[in-house]
Amino acid sequence: MIFKIIAARELALFFDILAVNKIVGPVKKGSAADGRALYDFDVVYDLAELSLDFDQTIHPAKKYFLPYLEETCSFAIRDKGWEKEVDYGAYRPVVLFGLHACDINALNKLDKVLLAEPYPNRFYAAKRASMFIVGHSCQPTPACFCHAMGTDSVLQGCDLFLTPMGDEYFVEIFSSRAYHILENLNLREPGSKDHKLFQEAVEARKNLFTAEVDTSDLTKILDMEFDSPVWDQWGEKCLSCGTCAQVCPTCYCYGVEEVVAMDMASAGKIRQLYSCNLLDFAEVAGGHNFRPESRGRLKYRYYHKHRGFVEAFEEALCVGCGRCGTNCLADINVPEVIASVRGGEVEDV
Ligand code: SF4
Ligand code: SF4
């Protein structure tokens, strides 16, 4: 890996070089009732529009590579019969500017599923292929537990990663394209003082985590506790609203609907992200629902993330971003659910 130091003022030049592409980054969108600033990813045209000191966005940047709704192909009747047009939705390279380590690691996890042969998701792959990612370090919120999931730092999955150090940034360069762009700028080599400052920043950040999740032997414990009453208790709280999947950077389940126009002259195939917590997620043709109760659906979500995915990829499908807990209307969050499965109490049921 190559390390450099860039002055904060040079970052504007870097942004301008990238601005021939569509740039997406964290933008302040308003304030919560308690005064907390609310951020979300959006298209920006100037570095000043970015809030790089954001704590967490409401949504991940998912809609730029896994749109919530997309028409994947359309059909029309022409002179020679049906014609099919496939739209991969990758019109212009996208720069994701300011992604935190958790969200970069979420992309790495999605890649394992959605780019894997023999059935890669070509719509996702097309968008990912033209993506440039600028990572940025963060200050953990009380809901964050990425350190427990091993996703609090980045070793791959972005082009470069920025850590602010006073009026400069410590730059970790991961790709040759990032290196060649940065060659046009005024960067300096880091010295031992910079290395020390970087390590101090990493250490200071570690001490800010408050949420804890004990993942040791978790897959085994989940196997043992499959019939635990805690699932009934959490199921009673869950409203089956699907918000947790909507805000989760690693949830990728979807449904496909084929729509035919009344005049039969055209049709389309629409893919829509879905949530395993929604009532009809496990409903099949004929009307049978394999998971008709919220406890089963909620449990399924936890077992996919912390048991099934671990078995397949030796890592959990959760990066500890805390968004599901922050946005859950029933106040259900991963640290408390996992603690209860490990023998803790389920509160306020
Ligand atoms: S866990 Fe929370 S966010 Fe998820 S479906 Fe249930 S109530 Fe909605
Ligand atoms: S399950 Fe929750 S904490 Fe884990 S990655 Fe998804 S939104 Fe973040």
pLDDT on residue 348: 62
Q: Which of the listed residues 171, 206, 241 is the one where a domain comes to its end?
A: 206
Q: Which of the listed residues 178, 206, 234 is the one where a domain comes to its end?
A: 206
User: Domain total for the chain?
Assistant: 2
Question: Ligand 2: residues whose CB is within 6 Å?
Answer: 247-250, 305, 318-324, 334
For residue range 238-279, what is the model confidence (pLDDT) as tens digits?
999 999 999 999 999 999 999 999 999 999 999 999 999 999
Residue 6 lies in a domain: yes
What residues make up the domain containing 102?
Answer: 2-65+89-206
Counting as low any pLDDT under 50, the low residues of the chain are: 349
Residue 223 lies in a domain: yes
The whole-angstrom separation of Cα 259 and Cα 265 is 11
308 and 177 in one domain?
no
252 and 104 in one domain?
no
235 and 95 in one domain?
no
pLDDT on residue 94: 97
**Cα 210 to middle of ligand 2, angstroms:** 16
The pTM of the whole model exceeds 0.75? yes
Instruction: Report the 10 Å Cβ neighbour count for 133.
Output: 24
Residue 81 lies in a domain: no
235 and 202 in one domain?
no
Q: What is the chain's Cα-based Rg?
A: 22
Max Cα distance, the chain (Å): 72
Q: Which of 321, 327, 328 to mutate to test the pocket of ligand 2 (most atoms within 8 A of CB)?
A: 321
302 and 265 in one domain?
yes
The whole-angstrom separation of Cα 44 and Cα 113 is 30
132 and 97 in one domain?
yes
Residue 346 lies in a domain: no
Query: What atom in ligand 2 is closest to the CA of residue 333?
Result: 2
The whole-angstrom separation of Cα 260 and Cα 70 is 16
140 and 8 in one domain?
yes
